Amino acid sequence: MLFEELSNESKVWMSHGDQVTAIPSGFRVIATTDTAPFAATRHEEKPLFGIQFHPEVTHSIDGKQILKNFVIKICQASQKWTMSEFIGKEINRIRSIVGDKNQVIGAVSGGVDSSVAAKLMHLAIGDRFHGILVDNGVMRHLECEQAKQMLVDKMGINLKIANASDRFLSNLAGITEPEKKRKIIGNTFIDVFEEEAKAIDDACAASGTPPIEFLLQGTLYPDVIESISFKGPSATIKTHHNVGGLKENMKLKLIEPLRELFKDEVRELGRLLGMDDDLVWRHPFPGPGIAIRILGEVTKEQVAIARKADYIYIEEIKKAGLYRQIAQAYAALLPVKAVGVKGDKRTYEQMICLRAVETSDFMTADWFPFPYDVLKRISSRICNEVEGVNRVVYDVSSKPPATIELE
């Protein structure tokens, strides 16, 4: 039953270091490999199955069919749940948590995750939701201006832009270790939010309105899986800004309406909420921003280089009509220098690493096969237009073993 209706090309992704050495009494093997003798098992009489592979990831061909067989045919679950149903239930859940008078402060960035979360919150409690965009100094080119236009002008959300760029960059001075960067940015982010919350609290107190008690975040399920051991002894791959980067003594209570959704589900949710396609299909941008796309110390000068290279990269991808074929793309700045020539002069400048991946779940990913002419044009523009760069390389690593972000 578990493997019914699979294609001849079907395969599954097995990426783990654990080994099953024996199966319980009453079970038999239904799938095996050279290195996994008990890749799948089932009970002789009861509808009990066990697998040691990942049907949920992009790399597993027909993985969704295996999950469907388990949920529908074996568990006999009814297929009544829809994303439209999720909207109504989540709005009601938010209202029950927040109440009729409490205020919510929202972590928004202009990306699809935080924007969908903000839209849900706005639908649930209206003007009692206060969106705040923290300019951390490591955002993309024109990020704040575009976010304001999208969130305020098109979605009607209360938004305040808190410029704390100098503060973030000061805290990051001298830091090169990736996890320390994430922790510093996460902690500084919450510090700024608590200060903004206090300012709103003071205004609420003056008007007799209840204080801010809740913080909205657009955390997704892959963030949770990779950041903490959610169920069982799973390893922490990296700390995500929306999960492991939060302070233990944080005063605000978290609301994460998208916590159990994957990226493709969030995009479908955004479409149902009537958001613009440009926002719905916008590539993900990490909470720590360009700071984890600059390998080594983060300075204002390094940010400027990475930011300009990234802007050129995305602009050329869109011109080539490839943006929607790619799940995520960015330009990273490497902490190495190489000899080059510009004009008649020898140069010794840094390298830009281009990253672009194909994936639907972001748990696994393949590198995107760019047409050579597109890569050539991107490389030429970056080398000629970005001061401090004389070489461009393209990352052809899949996830795993690499992650999508370099840090």
Which two three-digit tokens encode residue 364? 């696994």
In 10 A of CB 336, how many CB atoms? Answer: 11
Q: What order do you get walking across the sheet with 159-163 strand by strand? A: 159-163, 129-135, 103-107, 212-216, 253-255
Q: Where are the alpha helices (DSSP H) in 99-217?
A: 112-125, 143-148, 165-172, 178-207
Which residues, other chains included, contact 283 with Cβ-Cβ below 8 Å and sequence gap of 6+?
A: 314, 323, 326, 327, 328, 329, 330
Maximum CA extent, the chain: 79
Name the β-bridge partners of 294: 333
Binding-site residues for ATP sit at 109-115
Q: Is 298 exposed, middle or buried (0-12, 13-18, 19+ CB in 10 A)?
A: buried
Binding-site residues sit at 109-115
DSSP state of 200: H
**Residue 330 C-alpha from the chain's centroid:** 13
Name the β-bridge partners of 28: 42
